[in-house]
Amino acid sequence: MYAIVHNDYVILTQPKWNSRMFTNVLLEDCDIDRKILLSDEANVPLIIDDNTKIVKVSDVKPDYNSKIQWLEGPSYTIVDNVAVASYTVKDLDLDIAKANLKSVVPALRYEKENKTIEVTVDMQNFTVSTDRDTRAILASKLLSVASEDSFSWKFNEGWATTTKADLESIIVQINTIVQTAFDWELSKINEIDACLTLAEIDLVQLYDVVTEP
């Protein structure tokens, strides 16, 4: 990462060497007509004049809790021809912390409702996805099947002679997974809304904790 320093202020940072950008900024912001070359990267710190130079940037962010905190900055200090970035850890506004957390919940619910379950049909075990496309296909097929009918249905692992009762059983299992996911989402939204402090927000657990055996 590089920075243009002019009169002891960082006026531009770039993640990579950008000779065209540096040339334009020097001309437009500093009234310095100098073409910066790709090869000039090897000469950093590159002294343009007594008040202007291009230096490397040391940008190490401090640890912080993104659920309830944010980083203010950066501000820069020039140390040994390096622009050292500094940040201040600040507390988020409670409403912003709530909104940030709630924005994550629907995607996590979507993951929970889209799983693969094992079902038994015609005395064989098969796997079925609980995703929305599969649910729609199964529901559509169920509407067209009479109670006494049997038909061939292709699962991930192969074909099976299937009945309306089989479809109903599969759909019930899928609906249980889906409803559980939506119940989880609502409970988390309510839990977040009930928080009165950032400390309470920090205690809201959105991800399943996996313990080692």
In tens, the pLDDT along 41-91 reads 999 999 999 999 999 999 999 999 999 999 999 999 999 999 999 999 999
Q: Which of 22, 202, 208, 171 is nearest to 100 (CA)?
A: 202
Q: What is the pLDDT of residue 29?
A: 96
- Please name the amino acid found at residue 131: D
3-state secondary structure of 38: helix
Q: What's 68's DSSP letter?
A: T
CA pair distance 45, 69, nearest whole angstrom: 34
Helix count (H) and strand count (E) of the chain?
5, 10
State the average pLDDT for the chain. Answer: 95
Q: What is the pLDDT of residue 210?
A: 53
Q: Residue 146 burial by CB count (10 A; 0-12/13-18/19+): exposed, middle or buried?
A: exposed
Please identify which residue in the block is written with the tokens 């009945």: 163
Q: What is the pLDDT of residue 148?
A: 85
pTM exceeding 0.75: yes
- The values of phi and psi at residue 111, to 5°, are -65, -40
CA pair distance 207, 205, nearest whole angstrom: 6
pLDDT category of residue 213 using cuts at 50, 70 and 90 = low
Taking the CA atoms of 198, 204, 206 and 209 in sequence, report the sign of the dihedral they define. positive
